[in-house]
Amino acid sequence: MDTLTHIVLGACIGEAIAGRQIGKKALILGALAQNIPDIDFVASFWLPVAGDVLAHRGFTHSILFVLLLSPLLAWCSSKMFRSSGMNSGRWVLFWGLQMGVHIFIDAFNAYGTGWFEPFSHYRVSFNTMFVADPLFSIWPAIAMVALLLLKRASSKRMLWIKMGLGLSIVYLVMGICFKLSIDSKVEKVLGGNAIRGKEYFTTPTPLNNMLWYVVAKDDSGYYTGYRSVFDKSDLRLHFVSRGDSLLVPQVGKNDLDKLLQFSNGYYTAEMWHDTLVFNVMRFGEMRGWERPDPRFVFHYFLTQPDDNKLIVQRGRFAGWDKAAVLAFWRRIKGI
């Protein structure tokens, strides 16, 4: 999830665990604790881009990292807040729960989270929530503001915590239910189009959990489409070639090997004029719900590696003017 979401969740959880003992400092400490796994961003200062996308959400998002770091941070906290009355076990709970929640909710995004590093490089990805979803984050954000304004002794503080965290959990469960419904309809369409049994994935489009991006793998490419939870018509699929032949000159090169691993089997290659481009499909397309042949959000210039900067969300909101937003909203409402 985005940094702001981790801040507001961390503040609410921090208040719930340590608010009575250390007051409003628990909000600040909780926001800090929730963001510790994202310390891996420092790797981007020296790693090449292709290596950085694999390093992010790796070991610092693992269960082992949480288990190792929680006791150390608990010991430091018990020294810093000697008069708080919080014992070592509660401090371990504070840090462990914060970092555990971080790596847990990150797994609901398309990026994938390395829970089992360094023993397994498998990335856990439930694909039920976009990396920034205001309807998930708004509730703990409101609660955090209320907690900052309320007096420390107010009896309403716990009520705001329950509201902020509770509504986010409800929204998370709604996303899971939506995904199960979408997957069921996608499997029905795939069976009717003689591509039954093919691998596929579904993931939410930006900022919501009602319109879903669908990709089904075929021998030479993929079938892509969009499905809203409000759609009454059948899913319409569009074929996209994988373009493997374009990658032959790049076989064995370090960047391509890392990108293939990161793509998890969902990629395409294409030429943009004289530049060979590698697309990772898991992150969606640029306004694909209204364009017949959109570009992919994650695209890497294999023959121009120095031109690769921010590649995970490159061009995500390009051209999102009023007309584009209205078109997006109409598509969410269903066809």
Please give the Cα distance from 126 to 116 (Å, whole number).
15
For residues 275 and 302, give the distance between their C-alpha atoms in angstroms, rounded to a whole number. Answer: 7
- Of the CA atoms within 13 Å of residue 5, those in its CB half-sphere come to 19
Answer yes or no: is pLDDT of 219 > 90.
no
Per-residue pLDDT of 6-64, as tens digits, reads 999 999 999 999 999 999 999 999 999 999 999 998 877 788 888 888 889 999 999 99
* Residue 250 pLDDT: 87
Q: Does the pLDDT at position 217 exceed 60?
A: yes
> Tokens 């090997």 belong to which residue?
257
Q: How high is the pLDDT of residue 52?
A: 87
184-207, pLDDT tens digit by residue? 999 988 887 666 557 999 999 999
What is the DSSP code (8-state) at residue 309? S
Closest CA to 61 of 11, 112, 108, 126: 112
Q: Write down the pLDDT at residue 254.
A: 75
Q: Does residue 212 sit in helix, strand or coil?
A: strand
For 49, the token pair is 């881009």
* 168 phi and psi angles, rounded to 5 deg: -65, -40
Domain definitions of the chain by residue range = 3-175, 193-335
Quote the DSSP letter at residue 41.
G
Among 212, 223, 153, CA closest to 181? 212
CB 96 within 8 A of CB 69: no
- Radius of gyration (Cα) for the chain, nearest Å? 22
Tell me, yes or no, if the pTM score tops 0.85.
yes
* pLDDT for the residue numbered 197: 58
Query: What is the band of 135 on the pLDDT scale with cuts at 50, 70, 90?
Result: very high
Residue 45: in which H helix or E strand, if any?
none
DSSP state of 107: T
pLDDT value of position 214? 96
- Classify residue 204 as left (phi > 0), alpha (psi -120 to 50) or beta: beta
Token pair 């914060």 is at which residue?
98
Distance in angstroms (rounded) separating the CA atoms of residues 129 and 211: 11
The confidence score (pLDDT) of residue 112 equals 93
Q: Which carries the bigger pLDDT value, residue 328 or residue 82?
A: 328
